[in-house]
Chains A and B, each alone.
Chain A
């Protein structure tokens, strides 16, 4: 293909590429250490903290931020927002890559990763929330693969197969929403059997609902956030339909995010009221809870609303970044920071630098694969052969 024409005129030695190369090399070395010497050699995991950032960040945050796939495809195909059609493909790809690398991270984290199929082959532990998560993630990864496949099939010129998959769009979208609802909420429900270990301000019988609702915020915000980045970095790959509708999509999603955040803010207080934990707000953890509530939920909700009303895209982008950070903060709070909150600081978990590098390694791989695909396949544009076919 005409790479010279399609790619911007840049050498390989961009700051991004150099940084990515360093992380990839370090990541590969630590990968070898992890699988030859064991978890103990590279992580700070302990008997008190069996789950570190590979679960708290890579899995919990990864799954939430990959929610853009189901949010965008359901908005477009099920809720009739056809004008967002051009945004579905990049959102589905991000979702697919997000989930794929969640599974890759899980392989790093599991003690015996080669037994990953055991829950479906031998155990069938249906009383476990983790079984549901595993089952849904496995199925949803397949759904996302199928939803994304038309892009690759168009690229490869396999028209028959492409049109066959295209006919399944609605079915796959509905399946995607059902599976996402289940596993997004189940990730929160993982902590339901352990009320004594998670701080009461974060533990709630509603935690599954919190996780589901905040995944919608994560999905909407990530689509806006990525759109802004892609707009700069991959502008040359964007089709007319995508570019024409980009501002419209940003405003629409920002409006939705503002409202969902407001709802999320409300139900989080319902959680505090249901547990009657108002007295805990005056403690250190209470202060941290208020920071999450006002700084990472109420603030972006207001910023989104202002951005939409004033049509200020800069404000919307800031709101998207704060929302995404808020999701990261929330998931880390639940799985690490406010987990075993009562332990003395000597027993608390702080990730090792090698765990951090592996997490960065995963993020870098996602960005590299995304760029590879966006530069080759019809991602931000429809293939000329199928322009009127959607």
Chain B
């Protein structure tokens, strides 16, 4: 294998200008995406870094960033731990692992194979380009800053002090320079060859070869090979990665893979929830209808029963009335007959004398 000093199998001009038309990483399909073939990356050998901050200076120049308070030659900056910011796309931090010389580690955007920032952006302002860099389009960014929440490496920064055109700011892997066939600013500036630019696959092989060639020197792990689904930037180190401020608990699942389960539930909810709810509504309606019907039946039955009872009672009353009437009539008849008989009798006894008394008077008159 032939190696140039900082660029590993770097085909000039091969990157082309297709950066803007890259596809977004797959998210909800569940298909495994292992990265674009022939995409570029950078290998950072932490054991070689001396903390000179020349990469930071080059990055600042290349990206036209504001000059910091202290110049890049001032290493007192290393006394405090820093992160990337809106005017510093890359920073080097100093670590003092127990019983070892000070170590330095550079941080910048790792340009994930399946970037969290790109998968969570609801306007697709981030794109993983086939060449490797994860590029940001400020022209459609709404400024929700979900990319910053999702980034497992705490890389993107925001221009909070701009009222009208705030942007997310982060390392571009010098995508415009790659398109011109140049090296990324930081790689070009590194005096210790702690940074090597090249095709990611080749860098991975190189990293493994270095680990193999120097048994006992390196930790047997290429950081970025699998972390969060893999990153374009790869790291090897002679001290454990957590001792140089890197997270070793990220797992190998990419952000889109993590989200795919929850996203997959959405169409199921949309499809089945209305069925269930309409069913509930139908059951409620039916219950009300049945209740109403039952009520109606019960009312009718009660009415009928009441009517029948009333009719029966009426009948009884009528019958009773009839017998009473008959009895009364019979009694009345009897009484009347008795009265008549009595009257006749009385009449019979009284009739005779007046007739004898009065007739002669009349006849006389």
- What residues of chain A have their CB less than 8 Å away from a CB belonging to chain B? 35-41, 43, 45-48, 50-51, 74, 77-80, 109-113, 115-116, 118-119, 122-132, 134, 170, 173-174, 177-178, 181-182, 185-186, 189-197, 205, 208, 339
Contact = CB atoms under 8 A, between A and B. Distances in A.
B122 A125 contact: yes
B120 A122 contact: no
B191 to A, nearest CB: 29
Nearest to B86: A47
Interface of B: 24-25, 27-28, 83-86, 116, 119-125, 140-146, 148-150, 152, 154, 156-166, 247, 249-251, 255-256, 258-259, 261-263, 265-266, 269-270, 273-274, 277-278, 280-281, 283-284, 287-288
Contacts of B255: 193-194
27 contacts: A38-B161, A39-B166, A46-B160, A47-B157, A78-B284, A79-B280, A80-B288, A116-B142, A118-B142, A119-B123, A123-B122, A125-B124, A127-B256, A127-B259, A127-B263, A128-B122, A130-B146, A131-B122, A134-B122, A177-B273, A181-B273, A182-B266, A189-B259, A190-B146, A193-B256, A194-B116, A194-B152
Contact of B141 (A77, A79, A112, A189): A112
Contact of A178 (B148, B161, B162, B269): B269
Given A80-B287, A194-B255, A123 B123 contact: yes
B277 A78 contact: yes
A338 B350 CA distance: 130
B145 A111 contact: yes
B165 A128 contact: no
Contacts of B119: 127-128, 193
B140 A122 contact: yes
Nearest to B277: A174
A242 B362 CA distance: 101
Contacts of B85: 47
Contacts of A129: 120, 259, 262-263
Looking at B84, B122, B124, B266, the one whose CB has the most chain A CB atoms below 10 A away is B122
A205 to B, nearest CB: 7
Contacts of B160: 38-40, 43, 45-46
A50 B122 contact: no
Contacts, number: 182
B91 to A, nearest CB: 12
Central interface residue in A35, A113, A129, by most chain B CB within 10 Å: A129
B274 A130 contact: no
A131 B251 CA distance: 25
A109 B278 CA distance: 38
A212 to B, nearest CB: 10
Given A119-B123, A124-B124, A178-B270, A77 B281 contact: yes
Contacts of A111: 141-145, 158-159, 166
A46 B148 CA distance: 10
Contact of A189 (B24, B262, B274): B262
A182 B270 contact: yes
Nearest 5 pairs between A and B by C-beta? A111-B143, A123-B123, A127-B27, A80-B284, A40-B160
Nearest to B156: A47
Contacts of A194: 116, 149-150, 152, 255
B265 A208 contact: yes
Given A119-B142, A127-B259, A38 B163 contact: yes
Contact of A38 (B116, B122, B162, B256): B162
Contacts of A124: 124
Contact of B140 (A40, A78, A115, A195): A115
A50 B273 contact: no
Contacts of A116: 142
Given A123-B121, A174-B274, A194-B116, A51 B258 contact: no
A186 B124 CA distance: 18
Given A37-B163, A80-B287, A112-B165, A125 B273 contact: no
A125 B141 CA distance: 12
Contacts of A193: 116, 119-120, 150, 255-256, 258-259
B33 to A, nearest CB: 12
B143 A115 contact: yes
Nearest to B147: A50
Contacts of A178: 269-270, 273-274, 277
Contacts of B278: 174
A128 B146 contact: yes
Contacts of B156: 47
Contacts of A38: 160-164, 166
A47 B277 contact: no
A48 to B, nearest CB: 6
A195 B162 contact: no
Contacts of B165: 112
Contacts of A190: 146, 149
Contacts of B163: 35-38, 41
B259 A192 contact: yes
A132 B122 CA distance: 9
Nearest to A79: B280
Contact of A110 (B143, B152, B262, B288): B143
> Which of A39, A186, A208 has the most chain B CB atoms closer than 10 A to its own CB?
A39
Given A41-B161, A115-B143, A47 B84 contact: yes
A31 B149 CA distance: 25
A99 to B, nearest CB: 17
